[in-house]
A = this chain, B = another copy of it.
């Protein structure tokens, strides 16, 4: 398999494109709502790997190289980052994980207050659907854009990301079976990662069969991503993580290492990555960034 793509460079280039997109699309902090907009902008621009928007763009590139279509995927990618950011703001709240640090910086509510942070999250979630339905991006057909909105709403909604967070909170400090951990991972983290891949694929005009394979890819890298996150929480220092290390164990959260130990967990991550790459077997070299991204997720665990 050819490996022309230097994944680190690819990620860095795409991150820069996403951040320029966010800067261009995000509301400017002026007018009567300045303070609210500042709260949203703070968390959106405080940092982050921009994994979900990059997955969306990479999935689009795996299907097409039409520049106008790919250009119109950028607001979709940015909407995904708005949704991810809102979920972090709400997860960090005192009523939820009560975290003071995120990405090495103060969390939203420590700067803007609880009410300000709740509303910043609400604003970003709503803004995502504003971007997804913006009439300017008509290179992607109205039908495809509706399908993208539906896929993302399902992924982020009560049977996806929000439901997963609710389940996670409800099960804190309780013993629960491995199956519940799987459900939490799949919904809380996996759903939006798969949704990001699907949004890119739909926007780029993928066939039903291609979408099915990419969904499978998304499910497997979503799993790998969460397993590696669990691992890093156990094995890293607070400085490396930018948030409190060991916080999952302290909070009594079940994790993969808690069920299987560190070494078996690493093997499970490796297996998930291999399955993700296998799901792309019918795709040509345009899917190489997706393949390399899968490997890169695993590499983070070392």
Residues on A lying within 8 angstroms of B by beta carbon are: 27, 31-33, 35-37, 39-40, 86, 90, 93, 95-96, 113-116, 118-119, 121-123, 125-127, 129-130, 132-135, 141-143, 145-147, 149-150, 153-154, 156-159, 162-163, 165-167, 169-170, 180, 183, 187
Contact = CB atoms under 8 A, between A and B. Distances in A.
Contacts of A169: 115-116, 119
A158 B95 contact: no
Given A122-B90, A125-B122, A35 B146 contact: no
Contacts of A145: 142, 146
B118 A93 contact: yes
- What number of copies of this chain does the assembly contain? 2
B158 A27 contact: yes
Contact of A130 (B90, B118, B150): B150
A86 to B, nearest CB: 8
B142 A127 contact: no
Main secondary structure of the interface of A (DSSP, over half): helix
Contacts of A37: 158, 163
Nearest to A98: B115
B129 A162 contact: no
Nearest to A112: B166
B158 A133 contact: no
A156 B130 CA distance: 10
A147 B225 CA distance: 36
Contacts of A113: 95
Which of A121, A126, A165 counts the most B-chain CB atoms under 10 A from its CB? Answer: A126
B166 A36 contact: yes
Nearest to A83: B126
A259 to B, nearest CB: 18
Nearest to A163: B33
A125 B127 contact: no
A103 to B, nearest CB: 21
